[in-house]
Structure 1
Amino acid sequence: MCDIFWNNFEEKFKDVKESFEKSTMISLDCELTGLHSHEEFRPSLFDSGAERYEKLKAGVDQLLVIQLGVTTFCLNKEENSYLTRTFTFYLLPTSFLSVDTRFICQASSLCFLSCAGFDYNKLFSEGIPYLSPQQERKLRLDLQRGRPALACNLSSDLRSVLERACWQVSQWAPSALPGQSFRIHPHTEQTLNEVDEENVIPDASMPPSLTTLLRELLLHRELRLNFPDIWTYSEEGSVIRIEKIRYEERVQLEREEEIKIKEEYGDVVNEEIDVDCLAEKAIQLLLGATKIFHLLINAKKPIIGHNCLLDLMVLLKQFYCPLPEKYKDFKKVVHRIFPDIYDTKFISFEVKAQNFRGLKFLKGKQNKAIGRELWEINSLSSIYSFFHSSKGLEITKNAIPIEKCGGADPTSGDKRFHDAGWDSYCTGFCFIRLGHLKAIIGKSLSCSQGVGAGEYLREIVDYRNCVNLMQARSPYLRLDGEDPNNFRPPLLHIESRKDPINITKVKWMLSAYGSVDVKKCSTYCATIAAMSENCYYTILKAFSYRDDYCVTKMKSCTHSKISLLLHMAIAATATGITVLAFRNLRSRSSLST
């Protein structure tokens, strides 16, 4: 496995690109700064796909991916095996000129990652920068050709560095002759012609190496913009040498620099805003991890995730575009950039729900219990552990071999779940093994028979673009079409016969029978959504003889809010008519007397 930080990003970028291009499929995992920013955004069994998207969208705008794990799986057709490469990217929000990222950290998420061994020191000292499209446009406006950085929104420290350097050159340049030079250090506390190599002012907003490099680029650019008869050169120890030159030399040097920048980064100058070479170099450095996301898009390979809806939303917002307002538009955007997505959490539910009696490797009583003996819960660690248990190894003994990731032996104790790189490897591993298991079930094969890559992929293709929905009305959303109908049991209606209904108390009571959600609909009534049919019927049976609560099957005609309001209106109207009739009757009787 390869950890990638700012200091080795450029070195590893070509390896990452080559690995993406050669891969058969790519698995992803993300570690975030939180899961939701407010209690009201928690998932509920009442949520449809669209409602869940609205909830997540409201809470995801201020969350960030701080660690991205990517594993490529390359199929060797001759040996019918997979070769894997795993990359773990540490991502640091950008702070530069007018771009200053703000985000929310959820304490429970940070503590959880810390307990799992996440290295926050590495993140904040060596993290890779990135820019969203909006941030890139903002920086290009700040650095458009001919606009000095001193006209932008700068930190006081950086402004002091630029102003002092310009003042030093203004004192030296008028009397200097062509060919003469002097040196400055890009830090504030120095005198003219004095270089103090130990005088380093730390900037906590970015890794020191990146801070220093960006500061130098801005200083080169600022001096060249303000003094047309000089040229600047970088020397060791962050020293900048300023040389007095003639106009013709300046034109030639600018042309050579432009050629060099284009050779390094390609023709990347934005069409909308014209920036100079030094500005483009700074922007390209800051794009960092954004380039990895675009490599994923351009690769057009199947993307594998585990319970990946939230990951997809945060990645889209962080690297590609603002989250669309409409749920349908979100699905279209994701499907356009990633045409084939597989969610191993959803696949694991589907495979486990199959009829396992067709498997020939277990007989008799064991055969009936196979469904219960797979994996206890559908978490990534549970599924991965099953496939490395004696039972899982027996079932998949002739499955496609998967080469060990460099730096970690998948069968040893060197495992660290909730590290994005390791989890991405486990996600792809489980996808391949789930496909093998599905192929065996679908064809009623013995585990002694091998299953080719093409064969298991054909078996699992029905699950393409189905993304798991946790604790929702439907088990999944479909990215390339209409979402499925409600798969959950019908709703239940609960009424308190004595006191006003207490939702917290009711949910606590019902939790003994399974996973439920409760929604208040009036002072004494609430609606219950049950996860499973077993839970649904158990609640009905358990509350059939209670005298404090009445639980019945939900009937839209009698239990809906609209129906309740209609009944109230009818009752009020009937009461009013009765009162009027009674008054008329009394007035007539008084007149007759």
Structure 2
Amino acid sequence: MEITKQNFVEQLPNITKDLKRSCFVGFDAEFTAILSDEKFKYRLFDTNEKRYDNIKTELSKIIMTQVGLTMFQYERDLDTYVAVGYTFHLCPQMVGDVHQSFVFQASTLNFLCKHKFDFNKFIYEGLPYLSKAEEEHIRQQLTDGTLFSNLSRMIDIGEEKEVQQYCSEVAKWLINSTDETIYLDIKNPILRYIVHNELRIRFPDVLTTDSLGNSNKVLIYRDKNVISATSASATVLEENLLSHLLGFSQIIHLLVSYQKPIIGHNIFLDIVLLHNQFIGPLPNNYSTFKKNITAMFPIIFDTKYISYEMAKMLTFNEVWKTNTLQDLYEFFAQGKCKKLENGVNLIRLSTPFGEKQSFHEAGWDSYCSGYCFIRLGHWAACENSGVYRPVGPREKLAALAPYCNKVNVIRGAVPYMNLTREDPPSHRPKLLHVKSIKERAIDVGKVATVLSGFGSIDIKPYGNRTALIAAGTQYTAEKILKQFKDSKEYRISFFSVYRHAPASRAVIWGGALLTGSIVIFLFHKRVK
């Protein structure tokens, strides 16, 4: 089901109920930009900390425009999973001195257009949201009594005229009419809050309250002391306003409250954006970022990483072609490995996400991530017991526990990000050191072209005539060393800090010169 600001309030009780009943939640997001510049290119040299440092500034300009959540509920009697899916459309907001901004890349626009992204829903119907830091800032203004004045200052000329028109309408009613009540229909929640407060300041003898059954209407009583009517307290007005401003953040609060396991596919960028958009600005320290994420979402599974590790248990003819989400989902959905199909649960999607359920639509991708998680969990549990049989959700989660909070890292020095512990050591071979013999200045582009046929590599300068090479596999590294063993153009060897670092070389040469000087001095003295 698609959720916008038109149906969010109505559907919030159902979303809450579905989330509470779920055993785990599929998650996916679509962004406003893709990090495609050269400086954001994934490199085999990268540690996770280095990669985080490279992208944190740029990611602070990017937002999630669409979030998919699929709640997987287990029906024990039928041994069936019912998947209840939601696609939330989000749009940044300006409230008081909180100005949310973002960048839309042209390449991303092309990508979203290709996949039929609905920009009207994003702009006109997208849900507002606040990060934890922004919410605290707004609440502090409510405590200080400064929010009303901040909101009043920030409204545009058209909205200011609307407020004046509503006040004039009430003034005329008080003078010219004998009716005991009047309604004002104000759809904009921020404007409605401003009008409530403005009327109370200008007309202290009237009573204003929200109209029962229609939250858009402001009901005004002529007599402040009218029996059976109570004014909406300032606290009620503030909470109503906050509820609107929080929007989708209320769903984030529910996820934090219920502590359901979060299932995604290749979610490194997703969780960085989760922090920036719903916790607060990305911290400078990588370890602080990880602590902040796990404090809110303590159980995260990445099916990209799980499938990469578990693929090692299948033969070449049994395993999936690639572990992209689409290939992995189709592998399990089409039963391409028969031995993994014994005793599997039925997974039923309760309602379609839309007319065209397609990949790169956040809701559908969240469903596919959870679907693959169930199949991988069934396989892992059956391998543990040695029998392929029906398996419940608790046993699946227990079987996949070794993969919990390990997030896939694309083309990096380490295989995954560990959210709760230190990241693992590098799984790549030792770096190679290359020195140009013929040229006084090494051309890294030329070297990369020469070595490209040996396998996956990255190269970076390491002085005027030297560079470092990171190879994807030990086989690639050894193949390069063997091929260039007697090369007259490049000297390539395993990198050694002692041999190749400039400081080390300076120490070695300095030591050699000092030793030579002492030897000459002693020899000269002895001759004398």
- Does residue 257 of the first structure (1) align with residue 240 of the second (2)? no
Q: Is the 8 A contact 1:38 1:59 kept in 2?
A: no
Rounded to whole Å, the distance in 1 between the matches of 2:217 and 2:21 is 42
How many Å apart are 1:279 and its aligned residue?
Answer: 3.4
**Equivalence for 1:130:** 129
SS state at 1:157 partner: helix
How many Å apart are 1:338 and its aligned residue?
Answer: 1.9
**Residues 559 and 165 (structure 1), Cα distance of their counterparts in 2 relative to 1, 3 Å cut:** same
Q: Is the 8 A contact 1:306 1:427 kept in 2?
A: yes
Query: Partner amino acid for 1:280?
Result: E
SS state at 2:399 partner: helix
**Equivalence for 1:60:** 59
Correspondent of 2:483 among 532, 542, 565: 542
- Does residue 379 of the first structure (1) align with residue 324 of the second (2)? yes
Correspondent of 1:437 among 376, 379, 398: 379
Query: Partner amino acid for 1:378?
Result: N
- Does residue 331 of the first structure (1) align with residue 279 of the second (2)? no
- Does residue 226 of the first structure (1) align with residue 202 of the second (2)? yes
**Residues 32 and 573 (structure 1), Cα distance of their counterparts in 2 relative to 1, 3 Å cut:** farther
How many Å apart are 1:521 and its aligned residue?
Answer: 0.9
Q: Is the 8 A contact 2:343 2:390 kept in 1?
A: yes
How many Å apart are 1:505 and its aligned residue?
Answer: 3.0
**Residues 172 and 75 (structure 1), Cα distance of their counterparts in 2 relative to 1, 3 Å cut:** closer
Counterparts in 2 of 1:48-447, with a 5 A limit?
A: 48-140=47-139, 145=145, 147-148=148-149, 152-166=153-167, 212-232=188-208, 244-246=222-224, 248-249=225-226, 253=229, 255-258=230-233, 276-354=235-313, 356=314, 370-371=315-316, 373-393=318-338, 395-407=340-352, 415-442=357-384, 445=387
- Does residue 18 of the first structure (1) align with residue 17 of the second (2)? yes
Rounded to whole Å, the distance in 2 between the matches of 1:51 and 1:545 is 35
SS state at 2:479 partner: helix
Unmatched segments (≥5 aa) in structure 2: none
1:206-251 Cα offsets, whole Å, 9 max, x none, are: xxx6xx34323322322222321234578999887766435x349x
Rounded to whole Å, the distance in 1 between the matches of 2:58 and 2:231 is 48
SS state at 2:127 partner: coil
How many Å apart are 1:436 and its aligned residue?
Answer: 2.5
Rounded to whole Å, the distance in 2 between the matches of 1:564 and 1:27 is 53
Rounded to whole Å, the distance in 1 between the matches of 2:312 and 2:242 is 50
1:90-133 Cα offsets, whole Å, 9 max, x none, are: 11101233222111222222322221222111111111111123
SS state at 1:7 partner: coil
1:43-72 Cα offsets, whole Å, 9 max, x none, are: 322222222222232322111111111111
Rounded to whole Å, the distance in 1 between the matches of 2:316 and 2:386 is 15
Q: Is the 8 A contact 1:97 1:142 kept in 2?
A: no
How many Å apart are 1:322 and its aligned residue?
Answer: 3.1
**Equivalence for 1:193:** none
Q: Is the 8 A contact 2:457 2:472 kept in 1?
A: yes
Query: Partner amino acid for 1:155?
Result: D
Rounded to whole Å, the distance in 2 between the matches of 1:525 and 1:100 is 48
Name the Cα RMSD after superposition. Answer: 3.3
Unmatched segments (≥5 aa) in structure 1: 187-208, 259-274, 357-369, 586-593
Q: Is the 8 A contact 1:148 1:222 kept in 2?
A: no
**Residues 561 and 305 (structure 1), Cα distance of their counterparts in 2 relative to 1, 3 Å cut:** farther
Rounded to whole Å, the distance in 2 between the matches of 1:450 and 1:87 is 28
**Residues 508 and 45 (structure 1), Cα distance of their counterparts in 2 relative to 1, 3 Å cut:** same
**Residues 441 and 512 (structure 1), Cα distance of their counterparts in 2 relative to 1, 3 Å cut:** farther
**Residues 95 and 568 (structure 1), Cα distance of their counterparts in 2 relative to 1, 3 Å cut:** farther
SS state at 2:347 partner: coil
Rounded to whole Å, the distance in 2 between the matches of 1:223 and 1:149 is 17
TM-score normalised by structure 2 residue count: 0.87
Rounded to whole Å, the distance in 2 between the matches of 1:415 and 1:230 is 53
SS state at 2:58 partner: helix
Q: Is the 8 A contact 1:435 1:460 kept in 2?
A: yes
Deviates more, 1:30-39 or 1:280-289: 30-39
Q: Is the 8 A contact 1:142 1:152 kept in 2?
A: no
How many Å apart are 1:350 and its aligned residue?
Answer: 0.6
Rounded to whole Å, the distance in 2 between the matches of 1:139 and 1:113 is 33
Q: Is the 8 A contact 2:131 2:278 kept in 1?
A: yes
Deviates more, 1:491-500 or 1:436-445: 436-445
How many Å apart are 1:352 and its aligned residue?
Answer: 0.9
Query: Partner amino acid for 1:30?
Result: A
1:15-58 Cα offsets, whole Å, 9 max, x none, are: 11111111111111111112338542333222222222222323
**Residues 444 and 502 (structure 1), Cα distance of their counterparts in 2 relative to 1, 3 Å cut:** farther
Query: Partner amino acid for 1:10?
Result: V
Q: Is the 8 A contact 1:149 1:218 kept in 2?
A: no
Rounded to whole Å, the distance in 1 between the matches of 2:515 and 2:173 is 97
**Equivalence for 2:414:** 474
Q: Is the 8 A contact 1:176 1:244 kept in 2?
A: no
- Identity %, equivalent residues: 32
Q: Is the 8 A contact 1:179 1:245 kept in 2?
A: no
SS state at 1:228 partner: coil
Q: How many residues align?
A: 516
SS state at 2:237 partner: helix
Rounded to whole Å, the distance in 2 between the matches of 1:422 and 1:561 is 53
Rounded to whole Å, the distance in 2 between the matches of 1:40 and 1:109 is 18
SS state at 1:6 partner: coil
Correspondent of 1:554 among 471, 481, 495: 495
SS state at 1:46 partner: coil
